[in-house]
Chains A and B, each alone.
Chain A
Amino acid sequence: MEQQSTTPVLELVDLVAGYRSRHGLLGRRNEVRAVAGVSLSVSAGETVCLVGESGCGKSTVARAVVSLLRPFSGEVRFDGRNVTGLKGRELKNLRRQVQLVFQDPYASLNPKMTVRELISEAWRIHPGIVEPDGWDAEVARLLERVGLNPGHAERYPHQFSGGQRQRISIARALAVRPRLIVCDEAVSALDVSIQAQVLTLLRELQRDLGVAYLFITHDLGVVRHFADRVAVMHLGSIVESGDTEQIYEHAEHPYTRALLSAAPSVEDWRDDAENGEIVLTGDVPSPLNPPPGCRFHTRCWKAQDRCRTEEPELLERGTGHPVACHFPATDPVAAM
């Protein structure tokens, strides 16, 4: 599939989202900005990975993209059109374009529906995609497409293993023929051998159907093998983004470098354990009360006064790709 236009399928423009909390019974309402101004784009047939640790706001981005959550401000654009706050028929039409695959295939499939019902539900909701007399054939085709036995259409989710259920979730997402699938930690709960199966399947589907992925994960190994482009998220904002190889080979942001250094990989037996390893000290600050200035400065070994007061913007700083750091790593990291 060639990209036909230059307009990305999905564009996030300065997205601010999160939830409201209240202190005490009559206390003041408080906006918790889990996502504090994120801009991002995904082109047709492309895979963009949003990577970060728990609490960085990556799942909130996912929920905002699929309109499960209304952002406080900013825009979610689909094919160049702002879709935040859509309602009724327009929202329903948008649902045909964007689907979501959840992390936990045990929780995301209705336990009381058969596989056939789960998949054909899409056509019941959106009449016109497949006529009712073609449902059985189409369910069988989709099951086969995701590597499941088409004869198992009358089974219930609990009769399948975790990996198989995730395949059902994917078949279900494909049923509306979407152009973008948001995968929120979609392979994180699976065993390694099964995880590789699902990743391979997703890649095949992209090749054959031209679907784009916004792939949200904490696993830097998966990202390296799966992403075209990467955005690294930390406490609600993107600290660095670029082509996968650029990020992995020339990470500029101290947080990205720490993440990459911390990710265990099968090659690690070679390293003399702590050679050049960056181990951050302290905990991730709470998104309820983020630090002023650069949100990473409390754990950053390069932090200076400027970082404590001035929040760095995500800018191209002679680094080849955008990075949100006042002092991007042109110098080698001084091991701690």
Chain B
Amino acid sequence: MSALLEVTDLVVAFGDVRAVRGVSFSLSEGETLAIVGESGSGKSLSSLAVLGLLPAQARVESGEIRWAGEDVSAMSERELRALRGEQLSMIFQDPLSALNPSLTVGYQIAEMFRRRRGLRRDEARRRAVEAMTEVGIPDAARRVGAYPHEFSGGMRQRVMIAMALALEPRLLIADEPTTALDVTVQAQILRLLRHRQREGLAMVIISHDLGVVARTARSVVVMYAGQAVESGTVADVYIAPAHPYTLGLLDASPSARDSNREIRPIDGYPPDITALPTGCAFHPRCPFARERCRTEEPDLREFAPGRSSACHYAEEVLARGAAVDHAGA
């Protein structure tokens, strides 16, 4: 089956510093993939590169991004523009900064229909109200004339989703879509996203929160210091992590469901990407680390069908992890 989006060996650099160091992932039509990692892990840059929206100082140094089998880097600016918005779109953590504060929300949604679909003004406005209603904004016909600051955080994120989904894209990239929101509002937004998934929308969810990932995605890529260190289905990875970092992250994540598990921190701090340790980037914090880890950088290898880990001792970690109940399996 050909993938909708396929990223191979992506390297993103700021000058000489590589912030994303060879990340690969792929996604089929209608599938949801989560990229999880802590701040500075390169998870956001990976997806921005897909959209060609990297910050000015950053560039794609190497690697390949294929959309429906077609190389994105070979596309013209015109084709790229058509791709963004029509085929794939994105929502961000902070919807307020992504909306123009001096235009009404309705105008901003309607503008997309006018520019991209060539609709007349009144028709575009009607479609904007529809789009807002569809994402659960109550009283959309009235609120279509309101400005972004008149909406609550949750409603703004709904507006962003309405805009992102207005042109019926095949893929939505959501970068920390609920991080700025309250818990109960987060639940509303996650439910909304799940409904769209069920209707066949493919999604890439970028998050630091293993709980949010558990609620939304089927498969997951765990990133650390610019690299993918583990990937597989959420269920497999959460039950039996095969990389010490994933294991540590699961142990460190507090849970409102389970009181018997003690949370355990990972020792040390994430490395500075300008001065990475030799060998495996995680070895200074790793309880499994041996001599080999200090010198030899492990590759991401598929140790079982559909499961990969970038650890020399993945099997050992897997056995250790499986002995403890991590995710209430």
Contact = CB atoms under 8 A, between A and B. Distances in A.
Q: Touching in the complex, A and B, CB below 8 A? A: yes
Given A221-B256, A266-B211, 4 more contacts: A193-B270, A221-B255, A223-B256, A262-B184
Interface stretch (A34-42, A114-122, A277-285): A277-285
B129 interface: no
A4 interface: no
B183 A53 contact: yes
A194 B238 CA distance: 20
B174 interface: no
A277 B187 contact: yes
Contact of B255 (A161, A244, A258, A267): A267
B255 A224 contact: yes
A291 B186 CA distance: 23
Interface of A: 53-54, 161, 163-164, 191-197, 199-200, 218-226, 244-245, 248, 258-270, 273-274, 277, 279-284
**Central interface residue in B183, B190, B208, B251, by most chain A CB within 10 Å:** B183
B249 to A, nearest CB: 6
8 contacts: A196-B251, A196-B266, A220-B256, A262-B184, A264-B190, A270-B235, A279-B188, A280-B188
Contacts of A260: 256
- Which 3 pairs of residues, A with B, have the shortest CB-CB distance? A264-B211, A221-B254, A196-B265
Given A279-B187, A284-B182, A219 B327 contact: no
Contact of A194 (B155, B187, B209, B265): B265
B191 interface: yes
Interface string B252-277: 11111111001111110110000000
B90 interface: no
Nearest to A55: B182
B292 interface: no
A165 to B, nearest CB: 11
A265 B270 CA distance: 23
Contact of A196 (B184, B252, B257, B329): B252
B269 A164 contact: yes
A281 B249 CA distance: 32
Interface string B214-236: 11000000000000000000110
A264 B209 contact: yes
Given A164-B269, A191-B38, A194-B265, A269 B214 contact: yes
Contacts of B326: 266
Given A221-B254, A222-B254, A224-B256, A280 B184 contact: yes
B214 A268 contact: yes
A283 B154 contact: yes
A54 B250 CA distance: 26
Contacts of A163: 269
Contact of A267 (B154, B184, B212, B258): B258
A192 B210 contact: yes
Contact of B183 (A245, A259, A266, A267): A259
B194 interface: yes
The contact size tier of chain B is 35 or more
A263 B238 contact: no
A259 B257 CA distance: 12
B318 interface: no
Contacts of A164: 269
Contacts of A262: 183-184, 186-187
A197 B268 CA distance: 9
Given A193-B248, A273-B215, A279-B187, A266 B253 contact: yes
Contacts of A195: 252, 254, 265
B249 A264 contact: no
A262 B138 CA distance: 21
Contacts of B305: none
B328 interface: yes
Contacts of A53: 182-185
A194 B254 CA distance: 12
A192 B184 contact: no
A222 B269 CA distance: 20
Contacts of A220: 183, 256
A265 B238 CA distance: 11
Contacts of A221: 211, 253-256
B259 A248 contact: yes
B269 A268 contact: no
Nearest to A54: B182
A218 B254 CA distance: 13
B100 interface: no
A161 B238 contact: no
**Central interface residue in A164, A197, A248, by most chain B CB within 10 Å:** A197
A264 B186 contact: yes
A266 B208 contact: no
B39 interface: yes
Nearest to A284: B182
Nearest to A258: B184
B152 interface: yes
A245 B256 CA distance: 11
A261 B256 CA distance: 9
A273 B234 CA distance: 13
A224 to B, nearest CB: 5
Interface in B20-63: 38-39
Nearest to A201: B265
A267 B248 contact: no
A248 B256 contact: yes
B182 A218 contact: yes
B214 A267 contact: yes
A266 B38 contact: no
